[in-house]
Structure 1
Amino acid sequence: MKAIGFKQSLPITETNSFIAFDTEKPAPKAYELLVKIKAISVNPVDFKVRQNAAKDTTLETPKIIGWDASGVVEAVGDKTSKFKVGDQVYYAGDITKDGCNAEYQVVDERIVGKKPKSLTHAQAAAMPLTTLTAYESLFDRIKIDPERDKAKTVLILAGAGGVGSIAIQLAKKLTNLTVIATASREDSIQWCKDLGADFVVNHHRLKEELQNIGHPEVNYILDFVDLEGYWELASEIIKSQGHIVSITGSSKPLDLNLLKNKSVTFSYEFMYTRSMYTTEDIEKQHEILNTIADLLDAGTLKSTLTTTLKGFTVDNLKEAHRMQESGKSIGKTVIAF
């Protein structure tokens, strides 16, 4: 089968930052499905892994990355029970295993969902990683209850990004929260509004703009962009007994004492935790993806796909990475096979 990978961590402008190669088609075992991939999408985690996985070495075998795909089940392992050959599926996969930048991939069925019937493979491929991340942030980490938490506020940092784009929808459609998103450009501001944000504030003047909309403090903060850069301000604008969730991490220790007097809860969210550690509730991701598929088919949620590149080629993968690295892309970029 054809795959695209890399042997060295190179700038995306370099010729060999990605290389196409042929490799053996994998065979599914136990709970695995063999999926013939129809579309993939690219996330910030892709370029971060590409930039760091082979920094000071040359890999003997090219590393295959990519963690968002939609496709068709071609074969199943001997312990599978949720899918059969011919089923259309979508998933984000497991960061510890080969990714989806290939014609075929094996993936544990317990982290796979049924593809939304109303969406194309390209539209579906845009959804899994960001949706699981946003859903887990709201409902697994904060444990939002629509009744108990009605009228509370959530601030979504980087509202127009891939995770922010679905987080706005989930918070608006599935909870009674007042949704505040950050964006600064005219197109990204409008995107957030179209997705349902009650307020869109400029992150360059965040404290001032929160004051202007009458929400100087918020109950919940979802950091999808830069925990280290926002930490002191987040600690200042979070309400007492509030909750901050971050997916970005920090290069230096955080001063948790800033949260002490307010009894604020802080959580990290890492979508790959369940698959990395084969947690007791690993199947929850299968359930979440199926729930999201139903919501997409009902029109409650919409795909966050904004750009489709046609053809599984090195040039298209490079372009998708370039767009992600720019930090200015809105929604999701997909490559349709």
Structure 2
Amino acid sequence: MTTTAPNSSANRNIPTMTRAFLAQGGRSIRDEDAFLAQEVPLPQLGPRDLLVRIEAVSVNPVDTKSRQGLRSGTRQLGWDASGTVEAVGEQVTRFAAGDAVWYAGALNRPGTNAELHTVDERLVGRRPTTLDHAEAAALPLTGITAWETLFERFRLTSDSAGTLLVVGAPGGVGSVLIQLAKARTALTVIGTAGRAESQQWVTKMGADHVVDHHDLVRGVRSVAPDGVDFVFTAHSANNVAAFADIVRPFGEITAIDDPRGLDLYPLKRKSIAWHWELMFTRSAYGTPDMGAQGKLLDALADLVDAGQVRSTATSIVRGFDAAGLREAHRQVADGTAIGKVVVAR
């Protein structure tokens, strides 16, 4: 039975507990108890919070890395989510109970792998009307990362021209970033991919050219002899020398991976700028512009509903429970997934 308590901010009773699906430390993804279903307390609904009934989540590499790094105990993982608002805090202005929403949450709060979840409304956008919950859950984290890369790190506009290289193009972020670049800039887009099916996917996402990442310099020079202006990379380790070769003077690079001890000195001669992108920075530090994420999710929803951006869900696991999450994590950890893996009711 669900336990409820008065919520003075919304003048209604809201649950104080929810069923969550917790990753268990010290387990292989092959172990049947890698995830456990357990009743857990819900954080108190804050003045800017939404209480959301989760309908679907997607699994990102950050989820699998967090699970693999958990040596003991349990943790409520999950960031991407699509769901329906159940209740709102007293200062919420953008949403009401019954609204369909999507978001990517925050690192400093419990994850979305639960039946009910609380989230700050400033991080939330309206779900696209043309997508169901499963299709929508694939996009928030990768969409925010791609958007911030293009329009905040690179400061691109509809008039921006030149050439963009997307390293790791078949992945979740690369798949959205290609679509956004083609929808909202005048850039020529080159994507990297190895396997034939990955190359076909990158072309489907809208890339103008696809090159093999195994010989990056030769591949890029074959379609862009004068080099590229911008590079998005999900794979920075061992690629700095190649970037120094193929990026034009005063070019820019944005990375989302975690390479240790990266030597950027080879970029100096061309005055190449290096940016880091982490979509959790705003929520982690409560920055004054935290609401920009909710607004960009609304803008992304408009592009989806206009047919300019498509869902990147390629595998939908039915059954939002411990077994479903275990299967989704297995698929992502395999390292060959194209697009996104989603778990839905």
User: Could you say which structure has the higher strand fraction?
Assistant: 2
Q: Deviations over 1:58-100 (max 9, x none)?
A: 32xx310101000000011112111111111000000111001
- What residue number does 1:318 align with? 326
* Root-mean-square deviation (Å): 1.3
- What residue number does 1:201 align with? 211
Structure 2 spans left out of the alignment, 5+ residues? 1-17
1:330 aligned onto 2:338: yes
Structure 1 spans left out of the alignment, 5+ residues? none
Q: Normalising by structure 2, what TM-score?
A: 0.92
Q: Which secondary structure state, in structure 1, belongs to the residue aligned with residue 270 of structure 2?
A: coil
**Structure 1 residue corresponding to 2:130, chosen from 118, 122, 126:** 118
For the 8 Å contact 1:210–1:216, the answer to whether it is kept is no
Shift of 1:23: 2.0
For the 8 Å contact 2:226–2:248, the answer to whether it is kept is no
- What residue number does 1:274 align with? 282
- Provide the C-alpha distance between the structure 2 equivalents of 1:106 and 1:298, rounded to a whole number of angstroms: 29
Point out 4+ residue stretches in structure 1 off by more than 3 angstroms. 24-27
- What residue number does 1:221 align with? 231
1:289 aligned onto 2:315: no
Shift of 1:28: 1.5
**Structure 2 residue corresponding to 1:90, chosen from 102, 105, 119:** 102
1:235 aligned onto 2:244: yes
Q: Which secondary structure state, in structure 2, belongs to the residue aligned with residue 20 of structure 1?
A: strand
**Structure 2 residue corresponding to 1:143, chosen from 136, 151, 155:** 155
- What residue number does 2:198 align with? 188
- What residue number does 1:303 align with? 311
1:5 aligned onto 2:15: no
Shift of 1:328: 0.8
- What residue number does 2:7 align with? none
For the 8 Å contact 1:146–1:177, the answer to whether it is kept is no
Letter in 2 for 1:272: F
- Provide the C-alpha distance between the structure 1 equivalents of 2:311 and 2:84, rounded to a whole number of angstroms: 19
For the 8 Å contact 2:53–2:83, the answer to whether it is kept is yes
Q: Deviations over 1:238-278 (max 9, x none)?
A: 111000000002122x2222111111110000000000001
- Provide the C-alpha distance between the structure 2 equivalents of 1:99 and 1:130, rounded to a whole number of angstroms: 16
- Provide the C-alpha distance between the structure 2 equivalents of 1:9 and 1:77, rounded to a whole number of angstroms: 37
**Structure 2 residue corresponding to 1:17, chosen from 26, 29, 34:** 34
Q: Normalising by structure 1, what TM-score?
A: 0.94
- What residue number does 1:160 align with? 170
Q: Which secondary structure state, in structure 2, belongs to the residue aligned with residue 23 of structure 1?
A: strand
Shift of 1:185: 1.1
- What residue number does 1:109 align with? 121
For the 8 Å contact 2:240–2:264, the answer to whether it is kept is no
For the 8 Å contact 2:42–2:118, the answer to whether it is kept is no
